[in-house]
Amino acid sequence: MDEEFNWLEYSESMEATAGDGEAPGKSRGLRRFLPGRPSLPRLRRGSRAASGPPSASDILEGQDERALADLDERLRALRERSVAASQPAAPAHQALYDVDDLLASPDLQSKPGGVISAVALSKAQERQVEMLRDIVGGPSQSQGTGGDRQLPVFSLDAAPRLLGTALLILVVCLPFVSSDYAEGELPPSVFPEDRHGPRDMYNLLDNLSRDDYVLVGFEYGPTAAGELDLLADLLLRHIFAQRVKPLIVSSNPIAVVHAQNVIKDINRSLSSADAQLVHGEDYFLLRYLPGGALGLRELSENFADIVRISARGLPTGLEFAALEEMTELLLIAESAEVIRNWVEQVLPEAEGSRLLVATGYAAQPLAQAYAEGMEQIVGPLFGIRDAFTYGEKLRATFGAFVSVEPPVGPVIEPAPVNAESDSQAELPRATQAEIEDAPATALPQPTETAPPTATPFMTDTPPAPTLTPLPTDKPAPTATEASIRIVEVTSDQRVNIRLGPTTVHDILALGYKGDMFEVIGSNGDGSWYQILLPAGVEAWIAAFLVEERVVSASEFAGAQDSASASESAARAVMQLGFTLRLGKNRPRFYQAQPPPSGDRPELALHRDRSLETPRLQAMTLGTLAAVLVIVFGNTIYALRGLLRGPRAQGR
């Protein structure tokens, strides 16, 4: 850099200003410390002469105001501005400066380049600003001094920009007008195995019960609505569906209103028969926290006071002693700074709770670093694709509650997104129950294992085993009565009945000793039986846990009837009304409650999904178009630079 600061020259000029009376031409400043200097100078002003090497205090004492001539252009400009600013510019009656007057002041307008130059940039900085301005297509200083120069709307210079913009808009709009322009795959319906954060986050929220309270930091405004609204909507629906009461708080004033807007959208999606979410009963919108990080600190320190007042300044009726009483903390934030503030100011006071983080692409790296470094932080969920996967999981989990088709309407359960979702729609509800971890019951598992790959059942259907006829060495009961091959559970422990013939497949139901199931096949090596559950659902059970028999149809039906009448029937296969939920480091089983008295699955299921798929496809196409524009534009510029040669480039 041509304006690199020279300490040697600076120290010399400083000393010259001090006027120590040394002869001109003699080495001064730090130069005197260089090797080969014959004698040491007198650094101190006054009568005392230097008798040895100067100490740091001597040097400091020798410092004085620098001469104006020694200041570089940038410092001189700053000094002039500070002197000008110290003059009373505003009228006496005006307490604060009028921004409009400041921006329009002659001091600023007279600077070449307008306001930016008025902040006294160095020449190097000015060159960088000029380069940035040129890159984004703004008017350069060489093209004119004032910011008032109007570029013609249609000029040759603006043509590339217009073409790029038109291409992007066209490509992004295509998926919304026709399904022929679908490009790329939809996100999976479960989170990949290697992404523990989102999986743990889902499980933790799924483990909440209706007595729990969740503190929700709603820290984004309309600017990030396009990226985060879907995620916020799903997370809140998940919480509401379990009748957990969220306490929504924000250090962003407009986010408080926006949170209200998101909940209003959720209410809109409910049919008139469903109870609407009510403030003060189903959720609490707490008052705005002014002061950024300090406001969040107040939240953690004075939680009891803050939860007493709603966003409208009315009493909430909530009585909490401390932040620790929150079961979990959920943060939906758009910026890395807000995440940092929550981690630094709020989390230390929430012992025992975890901070679940959902954010956008911009703040994802920081959130990921936090999640990997701190056990108390879980996540992050980020972006629209994660939101899509979360929605699919939510639909699968709560779909198990619903035995009838959801109400048909314009906002409910739109058409399947693709052929794969068609096949998924054919699956019974119970098969959609998923788990994300090993079962809590430590059952002996078969040795056959599948590779630990993501197995979204929408896109990655279980491997179809070869069904081989079952060899039987037992005599058929009678010739007149149909015989049925069954397996009877012989294990004393509860056994898992799975969607496929491996231990990584989802658990559909549980079986207990004495339960009988009709056999319809087995896998290649006979280590798993394919069975038929009472509701006609096909499932798999490990062979070493059961004993195979052939019984008559009447015997099998009688066994089924007696089992249903006996006490053991209550703990028999819990199918179609059963969901299994596992939490991080705390596996728990939950018996599903019927919707009227327990969870509210309609909140998770009744939402408008009609635009989700076109939106994802528009994102894909838009990204491809952006890559095309960037590559094409840079190639043209690079070729042009090469053709013009190094001389033109240096200009």
Partner 1 sequence: MSNRTGRGQGFGIALSAFVAFAVGAVTALSLLLGDNPALFGDQPGSAQLAGLLALPADVLLRLVTIVVALSIVIGIANLLTTHVGRLSRGKFYSAVLLASFGFTVYWYVTRRGDTSLLEAVQVPIESALAALLCLSLLHGGSRVLGKRADIWGLLFVAVAVIVLLASTPIAELAPVQAWRDWLMRVPVGAGARAMLIGIALGTVVTGVRALLGQDRSVRG
Residues of this chain, 332-391, that bind partner 1 according to CB under 8 A: 336, 340, 365-366, 368-369, 373, 385
Judged by CB under 8 A, which stretch of 71-79, 109-117, 130-138, 518-526 contacts partner 1?
Answer: 130-138
Task: Tell me the C-alpha to C-alpha distance, in Å, between residue 510 and each of 132, 535, 545, 598.
Answer: 64, 14, 12, 22
The reply to whether 393 sits near partner 1 by the rule CB under 8 A is no
Contact positions with partner 1 (CB under 8 A) in 24-63:
none
In the complex with partner 1, the residue whose CB is nearer, 351 or 561, is: 351
Q: What is the CA radius of gyration of the chain?
A: 36
Residue 608's CB is within 10 A of a number of other CB atoms, namely 16
Cβ at position 105, least distance to partner 1 in Å: 15
- Whole-number minimum distance, CB 503 to partner 1, in Å? 27
d(CA 193, CA 191): 7
260 Cβ partners below 8 Å, 6+ apart?
Answer: 285, 311
- Smallest distance, partner 1 to C-beta of residue 295, A: 6
Rank residues 341 and 575 by Cβ distance to partner 1 and give the closer one: 341
Of the pair 535, 631, the CB lying nearest partner 1 is at 631
Binding test (CB under 8 A) with partner 1, winner from 290, 317, 352, 444: 290
Separation CA 478–CA 483 (nearest Å)? 8
Which of 186, 286, 331, 484 touches partner 1 (CB under 8 A)? 186
Nearer to partner 1, 368 or 527 (CB): 368
648 part of the interface to partner 1, by CB under 8 A: no
Among 164, 414, 446, 477, which residue interacts with partner 1 (rule: CB under 8 A)? 164
Angle between helices 253-269 and 225-241 (to 10 degrees): 60
Burial-class residue 9 by CB neighbours within 10 Å (0-12, 13-18, 19+).
Answer: middle
Q: Which of residues 588-617 bind partner 1 (CB under 8 A)?
A: 616
Q: Which residue has the tokens 């006609």?
A: 536
Task: Provide the sign of the torsion angle of the four alpha carbons 123, 125, 127, 130, taken in this order.
Answer: negative
186/7 Cα distance (integer angstroms): 60
Q: Is 243 in the site for partner 1 (CB under 8 A)?
A: no
Q: What's the distance, CA 202 to chain centroid?
A: 13
Cβ at position 642, least distance to partner 1 in Å: 8
Three-class SS of residue 538? strand
Q: Using CB under 8 A as the criterion, what x/- string covers residues 489-508 for binding partner 1?
A: --------------------
Residues 563-582 close enough to bind partner 1 by CB under 8 A: none
Distance CA 575, CA 404 (A): 15
Considering the rule CB under 8 A, would residue 304 count as an interface residue with partner 1?
no
Binding residues among 57-116 for partner 1 as defined by CB under 8 A: 94-96, 98-100
What is the smallest separation between the CB atom of 260 and partner 1, expressed in angstroms?
A: 6
From 319, 366, 314, select the one nearest 343 (Cα to Cα): 366
Residues 199-238 contacting partner 1, CB under 8 A: 221-226
Please identify, among the stretches 27-35, 184-192, 236-244, 535-543, the one whose residues bind partner 1 according to the rule CB under 8 A. 184-192
